[in-house]
Structure 1
Amino acid sequence: MSTLEQPSPFEILLLEDEPADANLVRIALRENKIFCCLHHVPDGLAGVEFLRRQGNYADAPRPDLILLDLNMPRMNGREFLAAVKADEQLKSIPVVVLTTSDVHRDVVASYQLGAAGYITKPVDFTQFASAINQLGNYWFALVQLPPGDDR
């Protein structure tokens, strides 16, 4: 009798400066049964350190997906997105903007900088959980991740 190998969880990096919003993402992922390891950093500078495995993040895994808030201290989401997409070793990681901003110029700028998706965080948890479920169904069921990560 052979045993089936348990699939590895998806590695998700969440850049979010509001602890309540980070917790909401954590709950929505769990309630939608998205099999993942969620890594949370509070701003863009910490996100860059995580991705480059610097400082406290020396053992950080390469994420399969980045969820990015736009409005953060130290380095905002737009600056972070530009830095990631300009880096040859990081640019293949899909970045989905997950923010409260529904301003048209933010949506357009995010896609111009290389975002793979844009989700506006609704205040209502049911709507938010539904958006996370759709994200999970799309990214983790349909999207082929790029080869060559060194987890």
Structure 2
Amino acid sequence: MGTSDEQIDDLIDILLVEPNPGDSRLFTENFSDAKLLNTIYTVSDAESALDFLHQRNRHSDKPRPDIVLLEPQLPRQNGMDVLSELKNEPALDDIPVIVLTSSEAGEDIMQSYGIDADSYIRKPVEPDEFVEFVQSIEDFWFAIVQKSSQ
């Protein structure tokens, strides 16, 4: 068992941008079940995501997330607006963004806008796919941590 200092280093603040409350609940429950040391915050639209990222308005007391899980199909503004602002804002452009796609075509569409996410992961559809999904997020995060420590 690690020391409390090691555990603090392993804490991950995740921002999930997901308009579907049922999906948000499934994501939150599965991350909790996976026993990852993280806090998952959820917002349902681009405006709330940008407020959270800029720590303004009702999200002024929230931490800057370590990673963003972004559903591109959002009400009003789409996920491309969030991704574009993240990648064009020097204070935010180092936050890794994983775009949640429903298919390979979704990834191609996102890339056609010319704004690259750090990773694209297919959104789980069946409950048993969430275990693999959570593992892929964990693997991505540890790859980022290892890369930055080298």
Report the TM-score when normalising by structure 1: 0.84
SS in 1 for 2:68: strand
Per-residue deviation, 1:28 = 1.8
Residue 138 (structure 1) aligns with: 140
SS in 1 for 2:41: strand
Name structure 1 gaps, 5 residues minimum. none
Residue 87 (structure 2) aligns with: 85
- Counterpart CA distance in 1 for 2:36 and 2:112 is 29
* Stretches (4+) displaced over 6 A: none
SS in 2 for 1:143: helix
Note the 1:2-151 alignment, pairs <5 A. Answer: 4-6=3-5, 7-8=7-8, 9-103=11-105, 104-109=107-112, 112-139=114-141, 141-144=142-145
Q: Which has the higher helix share?
A: 2
Q: CA RMSD in A?
A: 2.1
- Counterpart CA distance in 2 for 1:25 and 1:102 is 21
Q: Deviations over 1:10-53 (max 9, x none)?
A: 10011000001111111221222211011111111111111111
Greater shift in the superposed pair: 129-138 or 49-58: 129-138
Determine if contact 2:45/2:74 at 8 Å carries over to the other structure: yes
SS in 1 for 2:128: helix
Per-residue deviation, 1:66 = 0.3
Report the TM-score when normalising by structure 2: 0.85
Amino acid at match of 1:143: I
Determine if contact 2:80/2:110 at 8 Å carries over to the other structure: no
Name structure 2 gaps, 5 residues minimum. none
Which has the higher relative contact order, 1 or 2, with Cα contacts under 8 A spaced 6 or more apart? 1
Percentage of pairs with the same residue: 29
- Counterpart CA distance in 2 for 1:36 and 1:122 is 20
- Counterpart CA distance in 2 for 1:32 and 1:4 is 20
- Counterpart CA distance in 1 for 2:136 and 2:53 is 25
Count matched residues.
143
Per-residue deviation, 1:130 = 0.8
Greater shift in the superposed pair: 99-108 or 39-48: 99-108
Per-residue deviation, 1:135 = 1.6
Amino acid at match of 2:144: V
Distance 1:35 1:55, change over 3 A: same
